[in-house]
């Protein structure tokens, strides 16, 4: 019984203490009332900044990555084996079409050519004498035919040696800039030995791919803008030169090539460039500041101010503009979206504009 009495006393004391705390504000004059009980709805609302959807034109733009290519590109090799007699170019030099780049030793074929020309000339002289004798009946036709065959064979041999001599002189097939020299003076090279590279870089071709859904909107001659890390802050402009006739069955994309003037040589073959290709302009698009968009995984949301509350709304994005983004679905032209203070609100939070 004594224990029960003690427990009862403790309970009474606890109840009195709790009651004292509960009625403290009422007993002590001058104490402020609890904010949750007396604050107005406007005071409880979270301050935010909001903006009405902007209606304006947007350009449909396809972005892709591409690789720069020389307008014409060649790995210069030798058609025949031989010893390097002379090197007629400097690394990085611009050369014209037909310029001699390298010469191989030609003493033996040159001597062979002179001997064969002498044989041809002798055969021609003998043929002429026999032809004159044939006209007077002093030489048989068979003799003339034999000499004519000998002459033709010698003449053909001369052409073969002359062609070989031409192969000993390696020339530039088109104008361009030569690369690093891969052979040395006096070295023995074989058929297919790489001598240098030759690139026509006055014009640069850009190879990139666009999705098949955009094929109907692109045309040869359309403007293309490209930029890359190798030339920070600079945008290159060119135009579409060709569009492949086939769509890749795996990537569902089509190859496109654009051409860029490259007078200053800033673009080099092999450079990695980002491409922006304008397709068409649409008017009446709904546009919001990009800071209004809240990404969650693969979905995009904005907070729409409705009846003093922020309503989380899923949207579909369209084209991007500097600092803004198009909303394709989820809003209407009269929507007002939260642009600042988003981190403090949740779906359904009461909000107010201003501080």
39, pLDDT greater than 60: no
- The pLDDT, as a whole number, for residue 238 is 93
Q: 29: pLDDT confidence band, cut at 50, 70 and 90? A: very low
86: Cβ–Cβ under 8 A, 6 or more apart, which residues? 102, 103, 185
Q: List, for residues 189-215, the tens digit of each pLDDT value.
A: 999 999 999 999 999 999 999 988 888
CATH dotted code for 63-70+198-282 = 2.40.30.170
- The pLDDT, as a whole number, for residue 24 is 42
Prediction pTM value = 0.58
More confident of the two residues 331 and 217: 331
Of the ranges 37-51, 152-166, 239-253, 264-278, which one carries the lowest mean pLDDT score? 37-51
The per-residue b/e assignment along 233-248, b for 16 or more CB within 10 angstroms, e otherwise, is: eeebebebbeeeeeee
233 vs 13, 88, 174, CA distance in Å? 77, 39, 33
Mark out the alpha helices in the chain (DSSP H runs): 2-22, 24-27, 35-38, 41-44, 107-135, 141-167
- The pLDDT, as a whole number, for residue 218 is 87
Q: 144: pLDDT confidence band, cut at 50, 70 and 90? A: confident
Q: What would the mean pLDDT of 176-188 be, rounded to a whole number?
A: 94
Helix (H) or strand (E) holding 32: none
Of the ranges 152-156, 160-164, 192-196, which one carries the lowest mean pLDDT score? 160-164
d(CA 74, CA 91): 15
- The pLDDT, as a whole number, for residue 61 is 80
Q: Which of 214, 270, 263 is nearest to 238 (CA)?
A: 263
317 vs 55, 75, 347, CA distance in Å? 15, 47, 20
- The pLDDT, as a whole number, for residue 23 is 40
CATH dotted code for 77-195 = 2.40.50.100
d(CA 238, CA 225): 6
d(CA 35, CA 113): 111
Class assignment of domain 47-53+293-353? mainly beta
d(CA 332, CA 155): 87
26, pLDDT greater than 70: no
Q: What would the mean pLDDT of 246-270 be, rounded to a whole number?
A: 93
Q: List, for residues 324-343, the tens digit of each pLDDT value.
A: 999 999 999 999 999 999 99
What is the percent of the chain where pLDDT is above 90? 62
- The pLDDT, as a whole number, for residue 7 is 41
281, pLDDT greater than 90: no
d(CA 120, CA 159): 11
Chain center to CA of 274 = 4
Residue holding tokens 């002379």? 86
- The pLDDT, as a whole number, for residue 300 is 96
Domain boundaries of the chain, sorted by first residue: 2-31, 47-53+293-353, 63-70+198-282, 77-195
């Amino acid at each position: 019984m004594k224990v029960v009495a003690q427990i009862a006393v403790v309970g009474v004391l606890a109840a009195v203490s709790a009651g004292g705390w509960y009625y403290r504000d009422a007993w002590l004059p001058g104490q402020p009332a609890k904010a949750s009980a007396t604050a107005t709805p406007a005071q409880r609302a979270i301050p935010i900044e909001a903006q009405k959807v902007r209606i304006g034109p947007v350009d449909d733009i396809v972005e892709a990555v591409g690789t720069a290519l020389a307008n014409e590109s060649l790995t210069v090799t030798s058609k025949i084996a031989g010893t390097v007699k002379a090197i007629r170019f400097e690394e990085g030099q611009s050369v014209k079409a037909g310029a001699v780049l390298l010469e191989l030793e030609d003493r033996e074929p040159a001597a062979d050519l002179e001997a064969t020309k002498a044989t041809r000339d002798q055969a021609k002289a003998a043929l002429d004498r026999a032809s004159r004798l044939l006209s007077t009946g002093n030489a048989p036709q068979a003799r003339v035919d034999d000499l004519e065959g000998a002459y033709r064979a010698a003449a053909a041999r001369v052409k073969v040696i002359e062609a070989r001599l031409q192969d000993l002189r390696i020339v530039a097939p088109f104008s361009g800039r030569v690369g690093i020299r891969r052979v040395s003076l006096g070295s023995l090279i074989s058929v297919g030995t790489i001598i240098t590279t030759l690139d026509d870089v006055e014009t640069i071709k850009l190879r990139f791919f666009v999705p098949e859904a955009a094929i109907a909107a692109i045309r040869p001659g359309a403007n293309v803008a490209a930029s890359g890390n190798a030339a920070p802050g600079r945008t290159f402009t060119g135009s579409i030169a060709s569009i492949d006739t086939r769509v890749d069955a795996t990537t569902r994309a089509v190859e496109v090539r654009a051409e860029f003037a490259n007078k200053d040589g800033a673009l080099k073959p092999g450079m990695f460039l980002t491409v922006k290709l304008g397709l068409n302009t649409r008017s009446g698009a709904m546009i919001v500041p990009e800071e209004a968009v809240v990404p969650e995984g693969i979905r995009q949301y904005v907070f729409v101010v409705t009846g003093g509350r922020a309503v989380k709304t899923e949207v579909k994005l369209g084209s991007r503009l500097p600092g803004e983004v198009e909303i394709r679905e989820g809003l209407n032209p009269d929507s007002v979206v939260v642009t600042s203070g988003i981190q403090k609100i949740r779906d359904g939070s009461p909000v107010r504009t201003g501080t």
